Structure 1
């Protein structure tokens, strides 16, 4: 079976703030960002890779977050974190951008196991809604 991750949905309180964070701080290109800003798309996304995006969905408990999935009690549950793998140069540049934007690196690690083997360095930090990101690089 050939399986790829298509998308993740992140619940966010302010879609424009989150879009800015993922575009300007993390450096991911927006998908349907202008259409969202113009009111022509319900939510923006950011591209992680050619095959994977993050959807930035507004969390509103009054709207019934289960409606989209049809599975009662399942939508909106938090995850521990998600991880993005980048090159070493991008990893170093991201650390500078995080500091410039006042985003605290809340954790780090060395020789951490992941999908591509052992990563020499890894760092953790929250997005504006407290979703935890891990970013790492492989040699």
Structure 2
């Protein structure tokens, strides 16, 4: 199977906030936009912030001792890029749902992960693997 970029559209309460968060803080290049939506290059994937309110779902699932926000979306970065992003988010005073940490230590699928929310309440997970071949390890 050939990997292709994913597309995700999601609600935001304010496009200026979304532009500042995704474009400014996360460094995602902006693509097309209108008065009601903005495309962003989310690490090679297309996400679209649409006006329409805040994320209303605050459910969570227990995973490796953490309450994981559901739903959430994110991307798998290189370890170097993950560390640089974690440092940038910490320096910016980001409130984390789950602080940057290593999950599943010593197990197949060991990964660096962090969870935070955008200004509209959408949960994001950014993760990295020391060995990318372990992405789907059991």
TM-score bucket (shorter structure): 0.5 to 0.7
Alpha-carbon contact 1:119-1:136 (below 8 Å) kept: no
- Residues 69-98 of structure 1 deviation map (CA, whole Å, 9 limit, x = unaligned): xxxxxxx87452112111122212212221
Distance 1:119 1:25 in 2: 27
Gaps of 5+ in 2: 58-69, 131-138
Gaps of 5+ in 1: 61-75
Match of 1:47 in 2: 41
Which residue of the other structure, out of 95, 120, 130, is the alignment partner of 1:104?
Answer: 95
Considering fraction of residues, name the structure with more strand.
2
The yes-or-no answer on 1:56 pairing with 2:39 is no
Match of 1:19 in 2: 19
Match of 1:30 in 2: 30
Q: Give TM-score, length-normalised by structure 2.
A: 0.67
Distance 1:4 1:30 in 2: 19
Q: CA RMSD in A?
A: 2.7
Which residue of the other structure, out of 128, 132, 135, is the alignment partner of 1:137?
Answer: 128
Match of 2:81 in 1: 90
Aligned length: 114
Distance 2:26 2:128 in 1: 14
Alpha-carbon contact 1:118-1:138 (below 8 Å) kept: yes
